[in-house]
Structure formats: C-alpha cells, structure tokens
Structure 1
Amino acid sequence: MNQNKSIFMKYGTLILITLQTTILVLTLRYSRKNSSQDEAYFNSTAVFLSEFVKFFICMAVIIYSDSFLGLYYVFRDEVFGKPKELSKILVPAFLYTVQNNLLFLALTNLDAATYQVTYQFKIITTALFSRWILNKDLSNRQWCSLFMLMLGVILVQWPNDNHRSSSIQMNENRLIGLISIILSSLSSGFSGVYFEKLIKVSKSQSLWIRNLQLAILSCLFASFTIIVYDFNEINLKGFFYGYNSLTYMVIGLQAFGGICVSLVMKYADNILKGFATTISIILSSLCSHFIFDDFSSSLNFFIGASLVVLSTMLYSF
C-alpha cells in the first residue's frame, strides 16, 4: 500500500510539474503577446503577488501539518527568533525575485518554444555551480551532455531566414529575450544550488519553514522592485492596471510552481525530472506553433531542440 502511494506521489508530482511549467509559459506568453505596451500589466506587481500567494500557501501548509499555534511558534522562534538564519535566505530571495522578473521580460520578447528550449541553459549553470559550491563530481557522460546542450541552445538562437526577414525592432526584442534567459539561468543555477546547500546544512529547519522565510524576503525584494521601476506609473494607473483573469492565472501558476518544486525535491529524481522537461518542451513547441501561431520552426530549431532534449535525458540518466 505504501509502495503504491509512493509511486502515485512520484509520478503524480512529475505530471503536475510538467503541466504547471507548460501552462505557465504558454499563459504568460499569451498574456504578454495580446497586450500592447501601454495596456500591459506591470511585471513587478505580478511577481510581488505571486510571492505573496506563496507566503500564504506556506502558512497554510504549516497550519495543516501542525496548528495555528504551531504557526505562531514558527514565526516567533524560526523567523523573528533567528535573524542569522533568516539572513542566509537573503541571497536566494533576491535572486529568485530577479529571476521571476526576467521570466516575464523573456516571454514578452520570445515565443514559448524558443524560451523553453533556451532556458535549459540553466542545467549548465546549475551543474557548474554544483561543482563549485557542493563539490559534486560530474561524469564524462554528463560533461558530454552539457556540451551537447550548449550546442543545441546556440542552434536554436542561430539567425535564420525567418529572423532576417523580421524588423530591426523584432531582432532587438529577441536579443533582449536571449539576454534575459541567460541572466535568469545564471540566477536560477546559483540560487538553486545555494538553497540546496542551505537545506542540507541547516537540517533543524524544515523545507516549509525555509520556504516561508524565502517568501517573506522575496515579498520585500519584490516591493523594492515595484518602488524602483514602476512606482510613478502605478501611482498614475493603479496597482492592478491591465489585470484580467489571465493575469491572475499566471500569478497562481507561478506561485504553485514553488510547491511543485518542493514536491519534486521530496518525491522525484533527476531521471523523471528529465522526462518532465522533455515533455514540457515538446508540448510548448506544439502549442506555440498550432494554437498561438507564434512560432515557425526551422531546421536550426529542430536540430537544436533535438540536441537539448537528448542532452537533458542524457544528463539525467
């Protein structure tokens, strides 16, 4: 019975993370594509609200697993009672906030298929930071897969006839999207490895307590982003300017993503995560081409995407 439950949780979690990743990318892209620059919602407010939702999800989980009194003790003893432990979360909280803002910027300027494939560059950054920070050894097969992945990402971004026929503004936007993905991959790699080390070193605090600390600090950094970049515009137009049902769906999916990642860390493994990534890339490419008419494949993209999918599987096994 326990074995059946374990199998159900493992594969159920992978189905969730696959659907969440695919639907989030497609929904976010659609919400940005169908809004003009003057009518679009503010990225900074959407990031803040997603972190705010994560904060309440973490509290709900702690209450469910313990009680309201238990939540009070968590805030008293683990959040406000350990400022040194809380300060250790500053780095990943800042980087996650940057990463989430870059995600919006990337999907404003790139189609979902190109974004999904290129964002697998984070596998390379995560591997390198794991080698540097956690002293993890990589096999020859994994090094080969990273080289293959790099080649695939380069081919996906390689200019083709479709890109040459685009306007100069479109090329500039594509460059902005590419830079956003590279920076986001660096942020994702470092923050993920840093957070993993923090969890392994500080075993006295549960994953959900760490997630609660992370959500609190991320909300603070997201608030700072609002003030620095969009305060005047928000004052003029309002905090929820440009919001619709699709925007709230994006916020909910992004917040839910944090839960999915936690579940994957607990129940799944790298092999199944590789399968999830592969399926997500394929689904995003098909939807981007057939549903949104947002993407025209080329030989470069097909070869590059195939290399990325193959390298992802090779690295995971």
Structure 2
Amino acid sequence: MSTSKKEENGHPVIIQDEPADSGELDKEQSGDRVRNFVLCAGFITMELGKQISAFGSSQFNGGRHLIHASTIVALIELVKLCICVCLFSPKKELTSLKFTWNFLIPAFMYGVTNNLFLYTMNVTPPPLWNTLIQTRVIMTVVIYRIVFKKGTTPMRGLAMFILILGITLAALSGSSTGRSVQEPTMRIVIRAVVLSLVSSALSSAASVYTEYLYKKNNGPSMQHQVQMYLFSVGMTTVWSLYITKGHPFAIHGRVSVGRILLIFATVILCSIGSLLLPAIVKKMDSIVKVYSSVATIVLMAFLCTWLFPKSFQLNLPYLAAILIILASSVMYERAKPKDASSEKLVTLSSGDALSLDPEKIL
C-alpha cells in the first residue's frame, strides 16, 4: 500500500492507494516461476545435448570424430550464418550492412575457442571441462581490472578464491580416466587445464572486445553478428583445409548411421545453441542461471558415468567440488555491488560468448 498527497481547499490531504490485488500478484509470481522453469529446462537441455553429442561422436568412434574437428567447426559457423541470414533478411536489416574489419578479431578468437572445444571433446570428459571452464569468471574479472580499471568487492574476491578451490578439487578428484594404460589420468587433467585456461582467456577477451565494438559501431546488432559469422566461416574453412591438407571431409573410422547422426546432432545443436542460449540466459533471473549451470554439471556427470564409464566416474570428491563451485557462485551473485552498471557476460561451454553484463558473470 502506498500513499500520496494532494491539496483540497488549500490543505494537504494524504491519500492511501488501494492495495494490489493479491490474486493478480499470485498470478504474476506463478508466471515468473513457470518462465524460469521453462528457461532453465531449455538451458540445461541445450547444453547437455550439444556436449553429449560432441563427446559421443568421438568416443563411439575410437576417440576421433568421423570427420576432422576443424571441419565440424566450419560447418557449425556456416549453419549459424545461414540461420541469421534467413531469419533477418525479411527485415531488410542486412541491406544496409556496413562492412568493417574490426569484427575479424573477435571472430578469430571465437573460431579458436570453438576449435578448442571440439578438440577437448576428443580427450576430456564434459564434466571435467564444465568445471575447468568456470575459470572464465576469473579471466573476465582480470580483464576488466586491467583494461577498464574496474575492481571488485572483497566478498567477490573471496568467492573467486573459493571457486579456484572447487575447480582444483574437481581436477584432482580422479573422476576422469584415460582411454588406455599409456594415457594416465594426470596427463588428461593437465592437458584439460591448459586448454581451459586458453579457452577462458580468449572467450573472455573476445566478449569484452565485442561489447566495445557493439557500442562503437551503430546499427542493428544482427548486422554485426552476420559480419562475425562471415569472418568466422572464412577463417575456420581455411584452417580446416590447412590442417587436413586439403581433405576436410576425409573419413576417420567406420561409417555408420549412428555416427553420422551424432555428427549431424553436434553441428545442429552447437549452431542453434550458440544462437539461442545467450537469449535464454538473458531472460533468466541471475540466481536461476547459477542453479541451472550447476544442475547442468551434475546431470552431465551422471550421464557421462552411465554413457561413458571408461572416461568418467562420478565420485565424492567431484561432488564436493560441485558444491564448492555452487557456494562460490551464489556468494559471487549475492555480493553484487548496489551501483553495478549494466554489464553482463554470458558464456557457453563451446566458447561462444555474448557480452551483456560483466557484473553478472555467474
């Protein structure tokens, strides 16, 4: 109930507004819960689908994708470009496209991170990758500190320290196993840690630079995305032709309907996921996003233990690491400064990122 003042016959009169209808308030809250549930389910489903298909296409083919990983990345970028052009051409936003070479830099960074993601799906179980890639939070804070001289609160600093402990425990939990006796667990872990740090640094830097370009260059954001995808298609195609020595569609392993479907699912889910997941996360409440991310890690761990027992085994240290990561994420979100500006970073497991709000990194 609120109050207001007005004057009658020269004397102030206090007027009390009617209380809001409790039924309408309940309906609004119920609608928010349904929306958050649908968004959460969509986020988890898309993340699980693309990671399981990417990892499965390698594991069910002797540890290598049916076609080279760089070729899969080039196909993903091509599909994303085609989707954007088909969806936004009717709006005639692309007819006034102003070409700029500035988007070549983030396109290159995203192309590298996407290639790293597909490569790691050859050698690293998704649950381990999902925990290691949380280092993006730390990388983004460091970038904003160095570039924009933007600090963080002591509570958020403590949350990042706890996050490091959780990531370290997950890496040392012994949940990941080698594909053979010659490939011990620690070799997988060390390689995964190095790749995750490189991927985190590149994707964080790309998202910050992309945000800068969006503010600097006027025009619809879709025009900027189309330019990035054009550059990305060109660069990933050239890299695929180079790394495969001119044979990007050379077959590795035995061709089967199941393996072809897994490659197809990887391309489609990674393409659609890269376009839809940032939009889904943008509409989610911050705390819902935290729980959704942790739920994705937990469900992925159970699925990989069931589907790929030779590559991953769920154990108590890994579960403890997830709880520590959840605690640090909630602490980080709760410690958001009151004067936080509209900064946000939405990151995906594949390395794609959409810069929206660095103060809501988690």
Q: 2:139–2:204: 8 Å Cα contact kept in structure 1?
A: yes
| Superposed counterparts of 1:128-147, under 5 Å | 128-147=142-161
Structure ranking higher in helix proportion: 1
1:177-236: CA deviations, max 9, x gaps? 33222211111111122222322343x222222211111111011012112211344376
Structure ranking higher in strand proportion: 2
Q: Could you tell me the TM-score, scaled by structure 1's length?
A: 0.83
| Superposed counterparts of 1:230-269, under 5 Å | 230-234=244-248, 237=251, 244-264=260-280, 266-269=282-285
Amino acid at match of 2:195: S
| Superposed counterparts of 1:59-208, under 5 Å | 59-64=85-90, 66=91, 70-71=92-93, 74-75=94-95, 77-78=96-97, 82-83=98-99, 86-158=100-172, 160=174, 167-171=181-185, 172-202=187-217, 204-208=218-222
Distance in 1 (CA, whole Å) between partners of 2:65 and 2:199 is 25
Which structure has the larger Rg over C-alpha atoms? 2
Amino acid at match of 1:196: E
2:229 alignment counterpart: 215
Q: 2:72 aligns with which of 35, 39, 46?
A: 46
Amino acid at match of 1:189: S
Distance in 1 (CA, whole Å) between partners of 2:243 and 2:82 is 25
1:56-90: CA deviations, max 9, x gaps? 111122135x1xxx15xx25x32xxx34xx22211
SS at match of 1:60: helix
Distance in 1 (CA, whole Å) between partners of 2:265 and 2:271 is 10
Q: 1:313 aligns with which of 330, 344, 355?
A: 330
Q: 1:278–1:312: 8 Å Cα contact kept in structure 2?
A: no
Residues 164 and 300 of structure 1: CA distance in aligned 2, closer, same or farther (over 3 Å): farther
Percent of aligned positions with the same letter in both sequences?
18
Runs of 4 or more above 4 Å deviation: 6-11, 159-166, 235-238
Q: Report deviation, 1:173.
A: 3.9
Distance in 1 (CA, whole Å) between partners of 2:245 and 2:203 is 27
Q: 2:71–2:248: 8 Å Cα contact kept in structure 1?
A: no
How many residue pairs match? The answer is 302
Q: Report deviation, 1:258.
A: 2.0
Q: 1:105–1:180: 8 Å Cα contact kept in structure 2?
A: no
Distance in 1 (CA, whole Å) between partners of 2:64 and 2:176 is 27
2:299 alignment counterpart: 283
Distance in 2 (CA, whole Å) between partners of 1:311 and 1:276 is 14
- The runs of 5 or more residues in structure 1 that have no matched partner are none
Distance in 1 (CA, whole Å) between partners of 2:40 and 2:212 is 23
Residues 1:274 and 2:300 are matched in the alignment: no
Residues 205 and 306 of structure 1: CA distance in aligned 2, closer, same or farther (over 3 Å): same
1:131-187: CA deviations, max 9, x gaps? 333444422222111111111111111264986997342443443333222211111
2:348 alignment counterpart: none
Amino acid at match of 1:254: C
Residues 264 and 314 of structure 1: CA distance in aligned 2, closer, same or farther (over 3 Å): farther
Residues 93 and 185 of structure 1: CA distance in aligned 2, closer, same or farther (over 3 Å): same
- The runs of 5 or more residues in structure 2 that have no matched partner are 1-23, 335-362
Higher normalized contact order (CA 8 Å, seq sep 6+, divided by chain length):
1
Q: 1:152–1:307: 8 Å Cα contact kept in structure 2?
A: yes
1:241-270: CA deviations, max 9, x gaps? 886011111111111122124414643353
Residues 9 and 132 of structure 1: CA distance in aligned 2, closer, same or farther (over 3 Å): farther
